[in-house]
């Protein structure tokens, strides 16, 4: 298609984009993935430089630390302008369910449906998650659900290292304010970020870890398992997930009050 030869008005241009499958914006600036400066390839040293540059009162660490309730944490995240995802998403996706629940589930980042509704796990993977919960006699109102990243990455791409580093203080504080008895990491991204590991989810899943942070008096038992959207693509892993959730049910049943 030779664009220069056609005179488009804005509406025609948007229609043309839709027809050729360009149905969402995935960034503010064009990104050339063939050059070396792609943010997806940013080395850790660069990430640290970018993150530590944010030393003013509005850094995610300072905003998170100053939040003493879930409501104030939500407002702090809403006020934070350091993460570029905020410019392309529709809504902040904070959490859903019971903040007093024993079990807290942490996914990766909102998808399209979650972005529209502002609620985590309400799309296809959320429906599968509800079935998984039901299989161990739980409803989503019995658990607390949130994500590592509170804004939708455009095009549902995997959050890059900088985004994860910038958002980490918020989820760490979120866990401290909820103080669940058990944490389940849905997928490798949240498990690796919060357990400070670089392991494959196939290696981590089904095992119990001790999750710790400076604002927690006691560590919290935590299990990584496969992400429901991964299970939608590779249903043969549902069997292992079933085992993981049986183990989670057992842990819940054995909690002393
Ligand atoms: N995937 C996630 O990790 N979180 C959601 O909220 C939805 C899909």
Task: Give the predicted TM-score (pTM) of the model.
Answer: 0.85
Please give the Cα distance from 89 to 112 (Å, whole number): 9
- pLDDT value for 208: 98
Please give the Cα distance from 224 to 183 (Å, whole number): 8
CA-227 nearest atom, ligand 1: 3
Displacement of CA 110 from its chain's centroid (Å): 6
- pLDDT value for 9: 81
Q: Which two tokens stand for residue 210?
A: 């001790």
CA-125 nearest atom, ligand 1: 8
- Confidence band, pLDDT 50/70/90 cuts, at residue 23: confident
**What's the gap in Å between 115 CA and the centre of ligand 1?**
10
Nearest to 153 by CA among 85, 211, 81, 61: 85
Q: Which two tokens stand for residue 16?
A: 């043309």
DSSP secondary structure code for residue 136 in this structure? T
Return the CATH superfamily for domain 59-252: Uracil-DNA glycosylase-like domain (3.40.470.10)
CA-114 nearest atom, ligand 1: 6
Who has greater pLDDT, 12 or 190? 190
| pLDDT surpassing 70 at residue 37 | no
CB atoms inside a 10 Å sphere around CB 166: 24
Please state, in angstroms and as integers, the Cα–Cα distance from residue 23 to each residue in 7, 14, 17, 35, 157, following that order. Answer: 21, 9, 7, 25, 15
**What's the gap in Å between 94 CA and the centre of ligand 1?**
11
Pocket test for ligand 1, best of 95, 147, 151, 230 (most atoms within 8 A of CB): 147
Residues having CB within 6 Å of any atom of ligand 1: 107-111, 114, 120-121, 123, 125, 147, 229
User: pLDDT digits over 53-82, tens only?
Assistant: 555 557 999 999 999 999 999 999 999 999
User: pLDDT digits over 208-241, tens only?
Assistant: 999 999 999 999 999 999 999 999 999 999 999 9
CA-120 nearest atom, ligand 1: 6
- pLDDT value for 44: 57
Provide the residue ranges of all domains of the chain, joining segments of one domain with +. Answer: 59-252
**What's the gap in Å between 7 CA and the centre of ligand 1?**
40
Q: Which two tokens stand for residue 241?
A: 């997930």
**What's the gap in Å between 207 CA and the centre of ligand 1?**
22
């Amino acid at each position: 298609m030779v664009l220069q030869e056609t005179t488009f008005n804005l509406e025609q241009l948007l229609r043309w984009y839709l027809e050729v499958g360009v149905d969402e914006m995935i960034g503010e600036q064009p990104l050339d993935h063939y050059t070396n400066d792609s943010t997806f390839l940013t080395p850790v040293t660069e990430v640290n430089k970018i993150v530590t540059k944010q030393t003013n009162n509005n850094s995610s660490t300072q905003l998170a630390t100053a939040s003493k309730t879930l409501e104030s944490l939500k407002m702090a995240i809403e006020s934070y302008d350091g993460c570029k995802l905020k410019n392309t998403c529709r809504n902040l996706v904070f959490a859903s369910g019971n903040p007093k629940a024993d079990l807290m589930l942490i996914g990766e980042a909102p998808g399209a449906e979650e972005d529209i509704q502002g609620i985590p796990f309400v799309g296809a993977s959320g429906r599968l998650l509800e079935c998984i919960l039901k299989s161990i006699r739980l409803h989503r109102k019995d658990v607390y659900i949130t994500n590592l990243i509170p804004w939708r990455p455009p095009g549902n791409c995997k959050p890059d290292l900088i985004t994860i580093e910038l958002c980490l203080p918020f989820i760490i504080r979120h866990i401290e304010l909820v103080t669940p008895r058990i944490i389940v990491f849905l997928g490798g991204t949240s498990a690796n970020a919060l357990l400070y590991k670089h392991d494959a989810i196939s290696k981590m899943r089904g095992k119990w870890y001790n999750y710790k942070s400076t604002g927690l008096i006691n560590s919290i038992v935590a299990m990584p398992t496969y992400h429901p959207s991964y299970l939608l693509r590779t249903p043969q892993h549902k069997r292992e997930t079933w085992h993981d959730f049986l183990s989670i049910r057992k842990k819940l049943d054995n909690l002393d009050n």
